[in-house]
Chain A
Amino acid sequence: MKKLSIALVSMMILALVLSACATPTAAPTNAPATVATQAPAVAAPKGDIVIGNLQDQSGGMKALSIVLTYAAQMKINEINAAGGINGHQIKMITYDTRSDVNEAINAYHRLVEQDKVVAVFGPPVSNIGIALAPVAEALKVPIVGLFMDDNAIIQPSGNPWTYMFLGQDSAAVQGKTIAAYTLNELKTKKIAVLYNLQNSYSVGLANAFEGLVIAKGGTIVDQETYTTTDKDFRAQLTKIKAANPDAIYFPSYPVEIPLIYTQAFELGITVPMIGSNSVPPTGLKAGTDPAATTNTFYPYGVNPFDPELTTWAAKYKAIYNADPIAQSYSGADAFGIMVQAITACGDMITSDCITKEMNKVQNYKGFQGMITMSPTRHQPDALPMAIMSIEKGDPKFVTFYTPDGPVE
């Protein structure tokens, strides 16, 4: 009997492992053991300028990640058609991270050590950004991406990771921006928060949001969490409903957003649902009843209805047969500032030079606004964010906002 019990316990452990299979690998807190102790010498390219690209092309974040490749490729085509950078054509080597931290680390090693890239375009996945930061510190090839959690660009000491650069507002800025909007414009005081405790993006946004709400005199009446594999949020939402909040903030990933909208709606929750910049590409899919997304607000990197964006958007759609999303624009900006840094290196295009020039990027005219890279925070000085709502399933621009209030 004992043997059988042991066998069954073993099976249960296997079941546990199985249940964890769908969970993206958590970001390691320290540099992995495989990090090289000696940085490879990355020489100036003699022919093409080779840039690495780490994006999710087949995993759970594909929808948000693959658009960065699209935006980068459009920029590369434009530059190469115009003669390249200082006569050098740009060549991009893309590896699929599948939203997996270890895949991303291995791919970064391959890009640096085998493909000899001078810079890497990174994914919009914070867990991966956090994991890559210490590896990049050892391999000394800069990564410019959309990993929003501040931990991907700022070390625990407060200094920036030398080779990590963010091309959009960080989670801290985005969380504070939407918190300020929720308090000031929606006239709310009591707010509930629902976030994924296994996801750096979600945790980073929730912390920033809560910090500003409390600092401005608001109250977090309930804080509920879920895990990456969860599909049923009714238990958390029922508890939140009982706390009687004025609004609910849920900084979630695309796979969770339609479910949270739908289940909150089914539970009769009518207070404003405040999302993150992951809402648009999925919150409006055919799987979500438009009735469930009324009274919804979320921050967005750009106003997608801005006439200044329409030319680029039309060109993008002509190539990829899809409308650009927030990450398309932010990705184009992130890639653009990396190109500006490469261009500034003249004929000595090395990883070191690109890193130094990234710190000096100023007044780059991007889709998100004029971008100036902070050399102490390795992210743009706070850019205004577009606040969007959803009406009858379609996005609608409301206003531009910063943590300090509305802007023109």
Chain B
Amino acid sequence: MQLSTFLQQAINGLSLGAVYALIAVGFAMIYNVLKFSNFAHGGVLGISAYVGFIAATQFQMPLIPVILIGMVAGAITAVVVEFVAFRWIRLQKGQLVYFFVTSVTMLMLLEQILVILFGASFESYPYTLIQVKVIKFSDLTISVTYLITLFVTIIAFGALIYVLKKTKIGIAIRAASNDLTATSLMGIDVNFVIIAAFVVSGMLGGLSGVLYGINASLSPQIGQIVVKGFIASVLGGLGSLTGVAISAVALGLIEVFLISTIGSGLSPVVIFLIMVVFLLVRPQGFAGVSFADKA
């Protein structure tokens, strides 16, 4: 492989990894608090992507408002999902597996809502949403869409870290992620903390939905990309948001280099094998500190 090709593939991998990182961090956010893998995050991502699409096509809004509307839609959808699907199980002190099964069901339900509203065919964001398409360095090209994704991912991740470490609600979320019962006994309104976690997760889902929708295309199954977030979360360690983000970027790189070497048919097989090995050898992921009660 020539150096320029290698570098281009690395750029491709980093670009893809940036998209995965946004998805994975939003996915891991809920795990941190409620200790279950929230596949409904994919449905939140899908709903937000379509809301952004409507804003861009029906109302001809520019990029920034489209992103913000997608984030608001994500937050609202995530809170509705928490209220409809998870709250009752939590109040009944249901087992973690109930949360997991419900989250998968919610993903399918939200997909079907999109099928009913938009049909099963695909849609595309208007190409005019981002005017400049590509930046060139000699033989290398970087898609501006992906560059924006990378930039937004860094901003969002920075903001998330700030919120979690410097604000009261962030500290409350971190406390809840350590021990929900103890947090409640300390007089913190746990319901409010959990809603806050879903709002943050939903905003990240909305952001990733719009950006992924622009990069790829829209179909009701768009939310199934959450599987990449799940893989990145397992590899990185569901307890560590930084580990999840790093592993998501690594996943993008691995995926691109696998496709360019062994082909797209075998690439998912190898990635899932890596995941199996991780689960058997290091179930807490490379940066996680605890693997107990994962579901």
Contacts and interface: CB of A to CB of B under 8 A. Distances in A.
Contacts of B280: 5, 9
B264 A225 contact: yes
Contacts, number: 156
A231 B216 contact: yes
Given A4-B292, A227-B265, A15 B136 contact: no
Interface stretch (A59-67, A69-77, A117-125, A129-137): A59-67
B221 A21 contact: yes
Nearest to A255: B122
Given A18-B104, A288-B127, A266 B143 contact: yes
Chain B CB within 10 Å — which of A7, A265, A292 has the most? A7
A239 interface: yes
Interface residues of A, number: 54
B234 A12 contact: yes
B234 A267 contact: no
Contacts of A229: 221, 224
Interface in A230-251: 230-232, 234-236, 238-239, 241-242
A265 B104 CA distance: 37
A398 interface: no
Contacts of B141: 266-268
A227 B265 CA distance: 7
Contacts of A58: 115, 119-121
Nearest to B2: A242
A38 B264 CA distance: 42
B219 A285 contact: no
B124 A286 contact: yes
B133 A4 contact: no
Interface in A203-236: 224-227, 229-232, 234-236
A254 B120 CA distance: 13
Contact of B291 (A1, A14, A227, A291): A1
B215 interface: yes
A31 interface: no
A197 B267 CA distance: 13
B68 interface: no
B16 interface: yes
A190 B196 CA distance: 57
Contact of A60 (B37, B219, B227, B295): B219
Contact of B224 (A7, A8, A18, A291): A18
Nearest to A99: B120
B279 A235 contact: no
Given A235-B255, A287-B125, 13 more contacts: A4-B283, A4-B293, A8-B279, A11-B37, A16-B227, A22-B219, A59-B120, A59-B121, A224-B263, A235-B260, A238-B8, A267-B141, A287-B127
6 contacts: A19-B227, A197-B264, A234-B12, A242-B5, A255-B219, A258-B217
